[in-house]
Amino acid sequence: MSEQRVIAVVGATGAQGGGLVRAILADQSAEFAVRAVTRDTGSVKAKELAAQGAEVVAADLDDEAGLRQAFDGAYGVFVVTNFWQPRTPEQERARTAARMELEQAGNAARAAKATGVRHVIWSTLEDTRPFFGLAGTRVPTLDGGKYTVPHFDAKAEADALFRDAGVPTTFLRTTYFFEDFFTLTAPRRNEQGRLVLTVPMAEARLSGIAAEDIGKTALGIFRRGEELIGKTISIAGDHLTGAEYATAIGNAIGEPVTYQPISFEQMRSVSVEMANMFQYYAENEKAFVGDRDLDAVRDLNPELQSFDTWLAANKAAIPRD
């Protein structure tokens, strides 16, 4: 048997990275070995991955030298940053989450270049600024006027860091997680006690994906190797309207769920960034959905889950409060 090629997975205990680690461990071809990169090798999740057969190593995205050690000898690296990671008030004052992502992506790109990694997958998103513009007339800007949807725009901005470093990279554009129907867009009971799904999408389709499928699709990209280097792969598991998501959730839990679209301005009273994101999804639907060919994604990941398939396995976690 030929020697296994090592894939180093940043964020191995998170949603995306964890999905890739599990996909590699479950792969019957055993083409790759997995090196799980995490800040805390003593965490419960890290210990579980080690017990399942992963090599677990410690490294922090803010430490380029540590990343070099973690990437040393690896054929491939999966890089994901976490805009939403908990931070102290002092950390938030020191740098914005967008600046954090840019600095961390730069560290990863330079570390991959220095260690001769042959294939990087960078988990990224679209830049919303060309669509909205930065004049502040269509949507409010954030981070001192630098961004319209910072957790999209900073990742897109970081794409250039991998290109400029000369790293052989595939740019994996993700989308809204099905898991967000547990939290941000979970159905809630109205005053009459009926479950209501409130999403500011009007009649537009929202592309969604199971977080686990991001990792599985990344494995498919690593299998293709050089043919996908330099390419941008945009992925989703389903494209549904708010009404279709509500109907699917209701069918899964055995209780009707009503779709009640809200305006972008109503959403901005909760979160400007989330409102801008949904406005981008809704108004840019044709391009965003069109870039995500489900058949092409399924070619990379034959186990790709539709929303119905995902719900069948996860319906117990849908809140019914």
The percent of residues in the chain predicted with pLDDT above 70, rounded, is: 99
Q: What is the pLDDT of residues 214-236, one digit of tens each?
A: 999 999 999 999 999 999 999 99
- Domain that residue 88 falls in: 1-173
Q: What is the pLDDT of residues 152-204, one digit of tens each?
A: 999 999 999 999 999 999 999 999 999 999 999 999 999 999 999 999 999 99
Evaluate whether residue 157 is within a structural domain: yes
Evaluate whether residue 41 is within a structural domain: yes
Give the distance, in angstroms, between the CA of residue 214 and the centroid of all CA atoms in the same chain. Answer: 7
- Side-chain-side CA neighbours of 50 within 13 Å: the count stands at 13
225 token code pair: 């190797």
Average pLDDT, the chain: 96
Evaluate whether residue 37 is within a structural domain: yes
Evaluate whether residue 181 is within a structural domain: no
pLDDT band at 1 (very low <50, low <70, confident <90, very high): very low
Contact 152, 131 (CB under 8 A): no
Domain count for the chain = 1
Give me the pLDDT at residue 271, please: 96
Residue 73 pLDDT more than 90? yes
Evaluate whether residue 301 is within a structural domain: no
Selection from 76, 84, 64 nearest residue 211 by Cα: 84
Q: What is the pLDDT of residues 84-102, one digit of tens each?
A: 999 999 999 999 999 999 9
Selection from 198, 177, 188 nearest residue 269 by Cα: 198
Residue 2 pLDDT more than 70? no
Q: Taking residues 90-117, what's their average pLDDT?
A: 97
- To the question of pTM greater than 0.75 for the whole model, the response is yes
User: CA–CA separation, 126 vs 159, rounded Å?
Assistant: 10
**Domain CATH for 36:** 3.40.50.720
Evaluate whether residue 285 is within a structural domain: no
Selection from 89, 85, 64, 69 nearest residue 8 by Cα: 69
Evaluate whether residue 244 is within a structural domain: no
Evaluate whether residue 310 is within a structural domain: no
Helix (H) or strand (E) holding 108, with range, is helix 97-114
